[in-house]
A = this chain, B = another copy of it.
């Protein structure tokens, strides 16, 4: 048996406690699989937590002392946040320690720098836990599909958003009511901005796209739209058209470069992603040899995230992690496609006057912009505006068109007298032309 892998865990929140619990409960199999014991030398956190078994580790509130201990082989960063976590990861790598982090925000922003530091120091950098919790999606992208050119990926990668959309879909709840429940159940944070506005999903998409396409970590170039504008009416219209609304992170190689986008999306109800309910995550990968594969599981929580952290520990303990470390990308040459240049099908919800000829004029405007209609829902119950005026939503599903053309058509429609308010646009994915 080799000498133990000596680690320091920074942070003592839910995930860190999950890691300690897993290291304790499954010590036998973890040691056997790593080929050596994993010994927790230090735990560093702002404050100690009563009742947490520290596995004999020393406790400190001083992060830097932990990193400086020459007996530490590996630092697990679980303090969260950005500035302090970033500093911790960099200083640990520079000090020649292996690093494992579950911090998607700092990887999505500084991942290239971390890979360079790890390469220079000859250490491993593990981040399986940063994307989709217990699903080994980083390993699938880098190892399982290593023989493939990955063409696209699409994922339900934010449990909070998926919980809310599922609740709205299953019980007809409003967004606000579903968000309220999600908070009560612990599925949404007190300040849910990162989840609801798609930022968390954009972090995860950045990491997956970087690995899938050798793109580098380009978080700031991800188009990001959250779920807060989705209404239960949209969900119901989508259902009538044979679709579910899911919040997807999509990355795709196209002739002009790569698309990187996070937004609500109509998904055909027969597509497996449409059936992913509640807080669960799933990622679909389209690769040239393997075709479509899907990876499904819990995207958050102490157990699933700890499962990924400890898988990285075993990989590093075994000595195999470094060989699989992605090379840092200086410039992939790939351009991120501006949203105006992407092509998509669209769901439009057009609030229109309830008068004869309106639909024909709407269809004419779309046609003038080379947009053809796939399906229509019309003549729901009219809502009275004034004594002699009423409005109805015209719901249209279009065929694929460039987003630029779609935006121009929307401006033209919103300028017309027939349309009485802003038009709702939701992108549609068929996944059949990958």
Contacts and interface: CB of A to CB of B under 8 A. Distances in A.
A319 B321 CA distance: 11
B293 A134 contact: yes
A276 B272 contact: yes
Given A145-B311, A272-B296, A134 B323 contact: no
Given A134-B293, A320-B323, A310 B26 contact: no
A148 interface: yes
Interface in A271-295: 272, 275-277, 282, 287-295
Nearest to A150: B29
A411 B18 CA distance: 50
A241 to B, nearest CB: 19
A298 B304 contact: no
Contacts of A310: 146-147, 289
Contacts of A282: 294
A294 B296 CA distance: 5
A314 interface: yes
A295 B288 CA distance: 18
B289 A26 contact: yes
Contact of A291 (B303, B319, B320): B303
B323 A318 contact: yes
**How many identical chains are in the complex?**
2
Interface residues of A, number: 57
A320 B311 contact: no
Given A147-B314, A149-B26, A311-B146, A298 B303 contact: no
A165 B25 CA distance: 41
Interface string A200-241: 000000000000000000000000000000000000000000
Nearest to A139: B144
A33 interface: yes
A22 interface: yes
A320 B324 contact: yes
Nearest to A312: B147
A291 B295 contact: no
B290 A303 contact: yes
Contacts of A276: 272
A140 interface: yes
Contacts of A287: 134, 307
A18 B313 CA distance: 35
Contacts of A353: none
A143 B306 CA distance: 14
Contacts of A135: 290, 293
Interface of A: 18, 22, 25-26, 29-30, 33, 35, 128, 133-136, 139-140, 143-149, 270, 272, 275-277, 282, 287-298, 301, 303-304, 306-311, 313-315, 318-320, 323-324
The 7 A-B residue pairs whose C-beta atoms are closest, nearest first, are A136-B144, A134-B290, A147-B310, A293-B297, A294-B296, A289-B307, A290-B307
15 contacts: A22-B289, A26-B148, A26-B288, A33-B146, A134-B287, A136-B145, A143-B311, A143-B315, A144-B311, A272-B272, A290-B303, A291-B297, A295-B295, A296-B296, A320-B323
